[in-house]
Every structure is written in C-alpha cells, then in structure tokens.
Amino acid sequence: MPRILPQVLRNLLRKPATVKYPQVRVEPPKGYRGRPVVDPERCISCWLCIRTCPARAITISKETKKPSIWLGRCIFCGECAEVCPARAITMTKEFEFTTLR
C-alpha cells in the first residue's frame, strides 16, 4: 500500500491549509515591511532618505520640498524608515498595490 495514502485520506477531513484569498486575508505579522508612507507633518526635509534609498525611489516634490515615494521603483527594504531622523517614514502592513481602474 502506498505510504502516503493515510495522509491523503486524513487531509480530506482536515481544514485546507490555503485560504480563499480575496475574501479571507491573512494579516502580516508585526514589523512587516509593506508600503512606506511619508508623514509630511513630521518631515523636516533633511533629504537623508533620498540619499539612502538604494532603488532611488524617493523624489522631492517641487512645491513642498517634502519627499514622495514612487512605489513602482520601491523595493520595500525599509532603509528610509530606518534612517529618517524625524521618524516621518513608516512601513505599513499594506502589500496589495494593484488596482482596478
């Protein structure tokens, strides 16, 4: 008898290990490196984040002189959040960026 048969039959009664993704969501753990967001209120415009970003994803907006993150280039490394002296950048748990337009 094949060795895997008992496991296969037991799986029939078990709860599946997968979830129906768009309806059921698994919350990422604490400290997940999701989408970085800039808090313009706290930012002191030191532009350290721009120099640190390895993907050159951060640009400065002309009017406000505050940084803004171009998600198309961002690699979610978290360096900008780490380096910011004013803690103006935080990594959120958000990881779904595709949108229906």
Partner 1 sequence: MTFIVPIGPQHPALKEPAFFRFEVKGEEIADVDIRFGYVHRGIEEALQRRDYKHDVYLIERICGICNVVHTTTYCQAIEQLAGVEPPERAKYIRVIILELERIHSHLLWLGIAAHQIGFNTLFMLAWRDRERVMDLREIISGNRVTSATNTIGGVRRDVKPEHVPTILRGLDELEHSTKYYIDLFNSDRTILARCTNVGILTKDDARKFCAVGPLARASGVDTDIRRDHPYAIYDKLSFNVITEREGDVWAKSMVRLREILEAIHIVRQAVKEMPIGPIRIKVNLEIPRNEAIERTEAPRGELFYYALSNGTDSPERVHVRTPTCANFASIKRMFLGGTVAEIPIVIWSIDPCFACNDRVALVDSHTGKTFNLSLKELRKWRH
Partner 2 sequence: MEVLSFILGSLVFPGLLFASLIGLLYIGIDRKVTGHMQNRIGPPIWQEFLDVGKLLSKEDITPGAAQSPIFTAAPLVALGAAVTVMLLIPVSSPQPTLTMVADLIVIIYLLNIPAICMMLGGYSSGSPFGATGAGRHVAQLFGYEFVFIIAILVAVVRVGSLGLPTIVNYQAQQGWLILDWRLLPAAIAALVAIQGKLLRVPFDIPEAESEIVHGSLTEYSGPKLAIWRLAYDVETIVVAGLFAALFLGGPTAYVIGGVQIPSIVDFLIKTLAIVLLTTTLRNIMARLRIDQALKFYWTSATLLAIISLVLVLVVP
What does the binding site for partner 1 look like in residue numbers (CB under 8 A)? 2-4, 7-8, 17, 28-29, 31-33, 52, 54-55, 75-78, 82, 91
Smallest gap from Cβ 79 to ligand SF4, in A, equals 4
Q: Are strands 89-91 and 36-38 parallel, antiparallel or unpaired?
A: antiparallel
Contact characters 2-31, ligand SF4, x per CB under 6 A: ------------------------------
The region that residue 43 occupies, defined by phi over 0 for left and psi between -120 and 50 for alpha, beta otherwise, is beta
Q: Please tell me whether residue 34 binds ligand SF4 under the rule CB under 6 A.
A: no
Q: Please tell me whether residue 2 binds partner 2 under the rule CB under 8 A.
A: yes
Closest of 94, 92, 98 to residue 78, by C-alpha: 92
